[in-house]
Structure 1
Amino acid sequence: MKPVVRNTLILAVAAAAGLAGHFTQRASSPSTPTTTQVAREAGAPILALNLPDSSGQPQALSQWRGKVLVVNFWATWCPPCLREIPDFAAVSRRFAEAPVQFVGIGIDQPDNVRRFAEEHKVPYPLLIAPLQTLAITSALGNTSQALPFTAIFDRRGELDFVKLGTLNEAELEGKIRALLASQ
């Protein structure tokens, strides 16, 4: 199979899965965003991820232990994801001097993520992951494996907050400030 055809197929399957997850989530709950309570150690599979950035360089999420870590699963083909990224970028810039690290995990093709990062001046690392990576979010309440999905870890590496659906700037900043104040 030619690489262009294969990549197009992968993107089509990923888009279909994202839409299916979105509609499944909407059907199972009348409110689109979902915040789930999970065990603090349940985020270990996310922290164990080692994914390439948009340049192909492997990045271990564990390298950011000791900081409040905001991990956002997203894609360039996901409209709710695209709406929340400017808020994430703004909050990331405000906390640039604090022990806070944002990481976007793009369920997408490297070229799409690279172009998006350049066009929108995303100030934090964007890593690339295959669609099956979303499976690790099921245990965190994202049973539909939909996007966007955000997990926030405290400075000890313990999962503090997860949300399926968009996070606005005020909510995101509030969660980070609370974690910084408590540690």
Structure 2
Amino acid sequence: MAAGVLAALGGGGLAWWKNQASDSSGDVVQVVPDFWELQWDRPQGGVLRLQEFRGKPLLVNFWATWCPPCIEELPLINDFYRKNRSNGWQVVGLAVDRPDAVQGFLQKLPLDFPVGLVAATGAGLARQLGNPSGSLPFSVALDAQGVVVQRKLGRLRPDDLNLWAQLK
């Protein structure tokens, strides 16, 4: 299954970059529809489907338990989610890590937002969303239409999230 997801991401990424062309007004058109078809296992069981988050602003954060800046920013992202979910914001954490490491971490630091286990496929998706190095942490904000409106490689700061909260 991982190979199929990786192949789909590769083709979807190329289409996504082509669809980032601006229209005559200078506005970005849209992201590739295949993005919303992606799904991953959840650490607690079940499946995280991106389709469930379509139609509202979405912050996607790529992280790992072995990444100190990732761990430092997770409480900040959790706070952003708590404060902004009533305004329609959604947050998804995508763990580029082993399931057992993520499960153990979440027992110590539970998060209010959903987490998906992307393992090795996460780096490819992060690249397609504008992270050429595949480094962590990496965050992307999409508006309600699914257009990428902000990207941040490296640890998020409160000022970043305060700015993003104003986007929709």
Name the TM tier (shorter chain).
0.7 to 0.9
Offset of residue 164 of structure 1: 1.0
Which of 1 and 2 has higher RCO (CA within 8 Å, sep 6+)? 1
1:118 and 2:107 aligned: yes
Tell me the alpha carbon deviations over residues 38-59 of structure 1, each in whole angstroms, 9 at most, x when there is no partner. 9353465543320111123112
The one-letter amino acid paired with 2:93 is G
3-state DSSP of counterpart to 1:141: coil
Residue 144 of structure 2 is aligned with which of 149, 155, 166?
Answer: 155
Match of 1:47 in 2: 36
Q: Please identify which structure carries the higher helix content.
A: 1
Offset of residue 130 of structure 1: 1.8
Partners of 2:95 and 2:122 within 8 A in 1:
no
Partners of 1:104 and 1:124 within 8 A in 2:
yes
3-state DSSP of counterpart to 2:43: coil
Tell me the alpha carbon deviations over residues 129-168 of structure 1, each in whole angstroms, 9 at most, x when there is no partner. 1213311222333121111111111111111111111111
Change (3 A) 1:120 1:81: same
The one-letter amino acid paired with 2:64 is A
Question: Structure 1 vs Structure 2: percent identity of aligned residues?
Answer: 31
* Separation in structure 1 between the aligned mates of residue 116 and residue 130 of structure 2, nearest angstrom: 22
Partners of 1:66 and 1:99 within 8 A in 2:
no
* Separation in structure 2 between the aligned mates of residue 48 and residue 164 of structure 1, nearest angstrom: 24
Give matches, 1:1-183, under 5 Å: 39=20, 40=28, 41-42=30-31, 44=33, 46-179=35-168
Tell me the alpha carbon deviations over residues 72-101 of structure 1, each in whole angstroms, 9 at most, x when there is no partner. 000000011011111101111111322111
* Separation in structure 2 between the aligned mates of residue 46 and residue 158 of structure 1, nearest angstrom: 11
What TM-score do you get using the length of structure 2 for normalisation?
0.76
* Separation in structure 2 between the aligned mates of residue 133 and residue 46 of structure 1, nearest angstrom: 13
* Separation in structure 2 between the aligned mates of residue 43 and residue 62 of structure 1, nearest angstrom: 13
Change (3 A) 1:144 1:45: farther
* Separation in structure 2 between the aligned mates of residue 42 and residue 155 of structure 1, nearest angstrom: 11
3-state DSSP of counterpart to 1:178: coil
Partners of 2:84 and 2:165 within 8 A in 1:
no
* Separation in structure 2 between the aligned mates of residue 71 and residue 43 of structure 1, nearest angstrom: 16
Change (3 A) 1:159 1:141: closer
Offset of residue 109 of structure 1: 1.6
* Separation in structure 1 between the aligned mates of residue 68 and residue 35 of structure 2, nearest angstrom: 23
**Structure 2 stretches lacking a partner, 5+ long:** 1-18, 21-27
Change (3 A) 1:82 1:92: same
What is the aligned-residue RMSD (CA, Å)?
1.9
* Separation in structure 1 between the aligned mates of residue 166 and residue 137 of structure 2, nearest angstrom: 22
